[in-house]
Amino acid sequence: MQKLSELYRGKAKTVFLSDDPDLLILEFRNDTSAFDGEKIEQLDRKGEVNNKFNHYIMQKLESAGIKTQVQALLSDTESAVKKLDMIPVECVVRNFAAGSLCKRLGVEEGIELVPPTFEFFLKNDALHDPMINESHIVGFKWATQAQIDQMRALTLQVNAILAPLFAEGGMLLVDFKLEFGVDKNGDIILGDEFSPDGCRLWDSETRRKLDKDRFRQGLGSVVESYIEIASRIGLDI
């Protein structure tokens, strides 16, 4: 597959056109950012780790019947992905209270949420990804009600698949975000990525943080922790 012109450059990934009209090339960079780009660093091997981690997780989800954007690994830092019309909405599931939820509601970090909470956020860095509801999504035509229902159902299904996977590795899946797009057939497809950049994972016994909060909070050993997560679920990077 031949890489053509750059289509989109995000905070940590770049999307390129390819010589296949139905496929794009997704490049994971070593760039690491937090607080809407206020804190940015280059972390050696992070692009490789996230690319391989994402491919591994998406394969797990595909085998469980969830359609994903990822087609194939192309290199250490690149994957071939389906071209999607992305929906500008983030779907967030929380199994434990952490991050913005604690700040927003003044609740203690670590409280288990049964059943898990589900939230929508508008994907907009300039506005700091504000929380939105179904009325906003339908009213502004970001997605239809049927698409909303599908995204929620798929996100909760992903949670039901991945929480036990991480539990087997001695980890708590605290929370995560997903993004979806529409393919050329009009189907809702899981897009973007699933990596420690977009979820929270804690050691089950000590509650040691293994995810991007290590970068946000200056705890160090960020990539090393990502590799540890991968190893615990059977992925050798």
Structural domains of the chain sorted by starting position, each given as residue range(s) with its CATH number in brackets: 3-82 (3.30.200.20), 85-221 (3.30.470.20)
Q: Supply the pLDDT for residue 212.
A: 96
Q: Supply the pLDDT for residue 33.
A: 86
Helix (H, G, I), strand (E, B) or coil at 97: coil
Can you list the residues of the chain whose pLDDT is less than 70? 37
Q: Supply the pLDDT for residue 36.
A: 72
Give the closest residue to 65 by CA, choosing from 191, 189, 233, 148.
189
Residue pointed to by tokens 């943080």: 209
Q: Supply the pLDDT for residue 35.
A: 82
pLDDT digits (tens, 9 = 90+) for 87-106: 999 999 999 999 999 999 99
Q: How far apart are CA 219 and CA 222, in angstroms?
A: 8
pTM of the predicted protein model: 0.95
